[in-house]
Structure 1
């Protein structure tokens, strides 16, 4: 599981690269400039970030995820409907971003064919963190469909936000509400299909097949003996 950086030097490297990303993207040029700026040994920088700027782009995404989770834990959502809690989490995720151009450049980076797997993993991870923070306990196929649906919503929201120049992001707020409405309508449609006797010959066998799907087993804590964790 990917986690935000905790090494002070890697954090310093991440902070140093951000001003350069606006001009050079998450590139080797930006990475080298950040290394020079904070004055660390290039070989050591490569040890911390084996893929250079790519690892820092991933770290930047993870840092915003962590900020969102911290803000969610500090939020009083007791009077919110569940759909409003999801919308609130998406707004907090955007609020955790302190450099819009860095995200724009990261979107371009992870849209490249050879980077698509990393980008998809990051988006899925954000959706997973939101569901866990909101107390999701599903252990069947719903574990997957919830995260798949929210991944699509989150991706659409980020792309919309990148082009939003409205006052205080009001257009993005409205867009989030519309996307959540779409998801709720889809869930209502699925429920109608499942309960309609006309569709039982089709939905029955499918439901039986899907009933065997289980959520993945959680990994043990990384500090247990014999457990190795990717240092990136």
Structure 2
């Protein structure tokens, strides 16, 4: 895991002040105005800390959830779990450390065309945090495919969770386990191709091309923009 960076204290103060209003008003301009007023942070400092207003606060809430997930999982002993169960557990913990109604408001925010890329990036960072925590050492195209597939699992499970009224969200847990199972089947299929002499020969050319793809040079570092999940 990269060295942990501390979140911006002013932004965190604004976020704490905003959260009581998010459920009612969403992540809009009014919420940001109330957060500035309630936090006691000056307008000038608030705009420096969160130049995009509530969008920055929504991103800060997501990143806070990632940090809490990592802290929770680092305090647990996962060694007795199968790897599939570790991935499932990590996603489940990530969902438990956030408020469902605030997440619902965030989904509404990131469903807009101009904010959708931000939402995609944040989910990718969550998937990256999970893989890094579980010891992924991929340096090739697998670095991307693992994070892409897990991002899809996280996004679809979150959407299912928002509409789940089952006791203790057991339906969501079942949904998550099925999706993780699908991902593991993909990984097994890739391993079968690598281990099968006939198939590996058949896919030699595309595999050679994919072999040219490498993980970002700054992966698992905290001093390269866009390659860490723990920055504020």
Aligned 8 A contact 1:26 1:105 in 2 = yes
Q: CA deviation at 1:181?
A: 1.2
The Cα of 1:192 is off from its aligned counterpart by 3.9
| Cα distance in 2 between the residues matched to 1:129 and 1:221 | 12
Secondary structure in 2 matching 1:77: coil
Alignment partners' CA distance in 2, 1:4 and 1:149 = 28
SS at match of 1:114: coil
Per the TM alignment, residue 162 of structure 1 is displaced from its structure 2 partner at its CA by 1.0
Residue 154, structure 1, aligned to residue 154, structure 2: yes
Displacement of 1:40 in angstroms is 2.4
Specify the alignment match of 2:183 in structure 1: 183
Q: Does 1 or 2 have the higher relative contact order (CA < 8 Å, sep 6+)?
A: 2
Render the CA deviation track for 1:109-154: whole Å, top value 9, x for unaligned. Answer: 1111111211111011000000000001111111111111111111
Which 5+ residue runs of structure 1 have no aligned equivalent? Answer: 224-230
2:144 equivalent to 1:135: no
Q: Matches of 1:216 and 1:141 in 2, distance apart? A: 10
- Residues 16 and 77 of structure 1, relative CA distance in 2, 3 Å threshold: same
- How many residue pairs get aligned? The number is 222
Unaligned runs of 5+ in 2: 225-230
Q: Could you say which residue in structure 2 is the equivalent of 1:5?
A: 7
Residue 19 of structure 1, CA deviation: 1.6
Structure 2 CA distance, aligned partners of 1:86 and 1:196?
A: 30
Partner secondary structure for residue 113 of structure 1: coil
Q: 1: CA distance between counterparts of 2:171 and 2:87?
A: 17
Residue 72 of structure 1 corresponds to 73
- Preserved contact between residue 4 and residue 59 of structure 1 (Cα < 8 Å): no
Contact 1:4 1:62 in 2 (8 A): no
Q: CA RMSD in A?
A: 2.3
Q: TM-score, normalising length from structure 2?
A: 0.88
Measured after TM superposition, the shift of residue 185 of structure 1 is 2.2
The equivalent residue for 2:61 is 60
Q: Where does residue 120 of structure 1 map in the other structure? A: 120
SS in 1 for 2:55: helix
Shift of residue 94 of structure 1?
Answer: 0.7
Give, in angstroms, the shift of residue 92 of structure 1. Answer: 0.8
Counterpart of 1:174 in structure 2 is 174
Distance 1:3 1:26 in 2: 25
The CA deviation at 1:41 is 1.6
For 2:28 and 2:5, the matched residues in 1 are separated by 22
Cα 1:199–1:214 change in 2 (3 A) is: closer
SS in structure 2 at match of 1:170 = helix
Q: Tell whether 2:95 aligns with 1:94.
A: yes
CA shift, 1:18, in A, is 1.2
